[in-house]
A and B are shown apart, each in its own frame.
Chain A
């Protein structure tokens, strides 16, 4: 199988290049893209990429496969490759550290902006802050995000304004805390999102929904944040 892989080592290369490599795939098995990367690394140990859990939980190996973001460890070759060819690139829109490794600083900076922890100014109870089952249910589809950045780096609004637009991953988490019945900082959280960029730069093109490897829906969460802002503003 022919693999085109993005190569860039800032210590050696002046500019990035695509390198074509060929590997033999074992017959009768549908490998994951991460397995292919391992085979490539066995051929050329200088290839750099992130990986950890290899089961879609840690979110380390988010890359762009044939133009589509996803986790290499849970994307089968049969799904990623087209006509026997596979092109592997780093997640778009973030600075490249080396080969498929990107600098996630901007992504985490946006995540940090949404205060990603529970805020509750009432005295803590003896054991834990309880929640009704129906309130807990509201967090389903939100808390499962693994911050792999596949969604934010598939979003043109994030490519254009990564310093101002929070991005789908951050906004999904923003709504996760806005929807939490135990959180008491709703007004402050909404006030921090009211500017023209943080939430409202989303154009609803739903690239984020299309690529999320966990099947989550950041666009719906963004819509809910807008509704909350509208309810509060009217």
Chain B
């Protein structure tokens, strides 16, 4: 159990996870504001407008940071939920197996949710 609960925690310490979750939260908040500003200032949001928005190196880097922050934030949150609910009390002796399976599924989903937007963003070219 200790292997699954401690080794798979993101920062291996509660303090590191706590700080990472808050820093990533702030970054996501800023990115959200940026997106909100774009949607508010763009009367007709179509493909060309989105390409124009993401075309600059600054926005590509900012989006990459936001996606990585989202992945870290999500993993810390999902890890916490898993270690809260997938307990021996509810799942019996094999709870460690279920917890490991849950974590693999979460990691797989997060991996896809990182690769997919990044592959889209870095392929964007307005020229």
Contacts and interface: CB of A to CB of B under 8 A. Distances in A.
Contact of A160 (B17, B18, B85): B85
A161 interface: yes
Given A200-B14, A200-B18, A233-B19, 12 more contacts: A157-B84, A160-B85, A161-B83, A161-B84, A194-B13, A196-B13, A197-B5, A197-B83, A201-B84, A226-B18, A230-B15, A230-B19
Contacts of B13: 194-196
30 contacts: A156-B84, A157-B84, A160-B85, A160-B87, A161-B87, A194-B13, A194-B14, A194-B15, A195-B6, A195-B13, A195-B14, A196-B5, A196-B6, A196-B12, A196-B13, A196-B17, A197-B5, A197-B14, A197-B83, A200-B14, A200-B15, A200-B17, A200-B18, A201-B14, A201-B84, A226-B18, A229-B15, A230-B19, A233-B15, A233-B19
A83 B17 CA distance: 46
Interface string A179-202: 000000000000001111111110
Q: Chain A: interface residue count, which band?
A: 10 to 19
Interface residues of B, number: 15
Interface of A: 156-157, 160-161, 164, 193-201, 226, 229-230, 233
Contacts of B12: 196
The 6 closest A-B pairs by CB, nearest first: A200-B14, A196-B14, A160-B84, A196-B9, A233-B15, A229-B15
